[in-house]
Amino acid sequence: MQLSDVAHQDTARRRLRDALAACRVPHAYLFAGPDGVGKRMLAVRFAQRLLCANPAQDACGACEECAMMASGVHPDYHYVDRGLKKFHRDKRVQARAAIKLSIDVIRQFVIEAVLLRPVRGRAKVFVIDEAERMSPDAQNALLKTLEEPPPDTYLILCTRSPEQVLPTTRSRCQVVPFGPLPSEFIIERLTNEHGIDAADARLIAELAGGQLSVAVQYAEREVAARAVELLRLLTGVFDDPIAFGKGVRELAEAIAKRAKEAARAETDDVEDDVEGDADEDGGHEISASDTARTSRRIVLSLVGGLLRDVLRVACGDGPRAVSRPADVAVVETLARRLGRRGVVRALRAVSDAEAALEQNANVGLVFDALGLATSGPAPVAVAR
């Protein structure tokens, strides 16, 4: 495992290499950027470089430390996420839902663990994933550790939303920015490694916004086919906005169903599901409500992604996500029908729907409202 394995994150890799070359590696990092662009991948490789017995510019790949890292059993590498609550010493913590990264988990698996001597004697590296899920009290409890960890202790916090991490936490870490991956890179991976057809791969890559793991998740959930259905549904929104809303909701249900099948088929990959939560008996069953929520979010982001293609066409550019002639024709029709202003209004309706669902609004009403707002301006009340 080498730092250079992580493609297209040149800024992040350069920051780490510069720190290593200058022998001035900060004790706390915050890797910040979208999901699925290589944050965790780079964190593991950096950890290996720090733990390696014969490091040069990179880890040697040949020593015992490197072998242990490669097989995922190095005792001084600590991966911390909300799933760890299952292994907490307190049964009550184990029984809790793992939505947050709680103070109990941070205390046992980070704050107390940093005080122990490294088992192999070189260093200890902690990677805290989804750091934005740390509760405020967990973050406050961690401040002292971030500020003054024992010697040769490194903490790497990974987050998709650094703005959700407390400023006091952020300021104690060196922030390393990660950007979205180029579409061409994602397309290549989807076609070569997942056997996805080129047009579908382009569609998925664009709709996933440069996030490889999201794109792979889309591929597993057969999202490309859903996106094409969604495009057809959009053309009907003017005639029957309520039917459009209902259709979008049904697509979300279809995506959820496919996700459950995929999870059952490949239980090992469930940990990649952003909303996935292991159940209490240690199995990998994803909770049904989480899957439904994630699927509704996916379907809304698809509507948004397709509308951005419509906007491009309405502004005189070519579409980026859709490439099959039949789909391009639909996008062109929508661009004519909606006009630039109409697309912007529809995009606003999508973000309103996203916000409403985030606040647990009634799902049926949210999708009805999406249809109505997409189809045209709200009817003006006539004064009597």
Selected from 66, 196, 204, 310, the binder of Zn ion by CB under 5 A is 66
Scanning 46-54, 68-76, 284-292, 350-358 for contacts with Zn ion by CB under 5 A, the matching segment is: 46-54
Which one of residues 37, 52, 307, 311 is an interface residue with Zn ion (CB under 5 A)? 52
Q: How far is 14 from 41, CA to CA, in rounded Å?
A: 15
Give the shortest CB-170-to-Zn ion separation in angstroms: 32
Rounded CA-CA distance 144/169 in Å is 10
Least distance (Å) from Zn ion to the CB of residue 26?
A: 22
Size, binding site for Zn ion by CB under 5 A: 5
Q: Which residue number, 70 or 243, has a Cβ lying nearer to Zn ion?
A: 70
User: Residues 263-282 vs Zn ion: string with x where CB under 5 A?
Assistant: --------------------
Instruction: Report if residue 25 touches Zn ion, rule: CB under 5 A.
Output: no
Minimum distance from residue 47 beta carbon to Zn ion (Å): 12
Site string for Zn ion, 220-259 (x = CB under 5 A): ----------------------------------------
Minimum CB distance to Zn ion, residue 67 (Å): 8
**What is the CA 132 to chain-centroid distance, rounded?**
12
CA separation, residue 80 to residues 77, 108, 180, 262 (Å): 10, 10, 24, 25
Is 60 near Zn ion (CB under 5 A)?
yes
Backbone angles phi, psi at 329, to 5 degrees: -60, -40
Question: CB 122 → Zn ion: shortest distance, Å?
Answer: 10
The nearest distance, CB 292 to Zn ion, in angstroms, is 45
Near Zn ion by CB under 5 A, which window of 56-64, 142-150, 171-179, 182-190? 56-64
Quote the least distance from Cβ 62 to Zn ion, whole Å: 6
Q: Which stretch binds Zn ion (CB under 5 A): 53-61, 171-179, 239-247, 376-384?
A: 53-61
Part in contact with Zn ion (CB under 5 A); list of ranges 48-56, 117-125, 151-159, 167-175: 48-56
- The residues that touch Zn ion, with contacts defined as CB under 5 A, are 52, 59-60, 63, 66
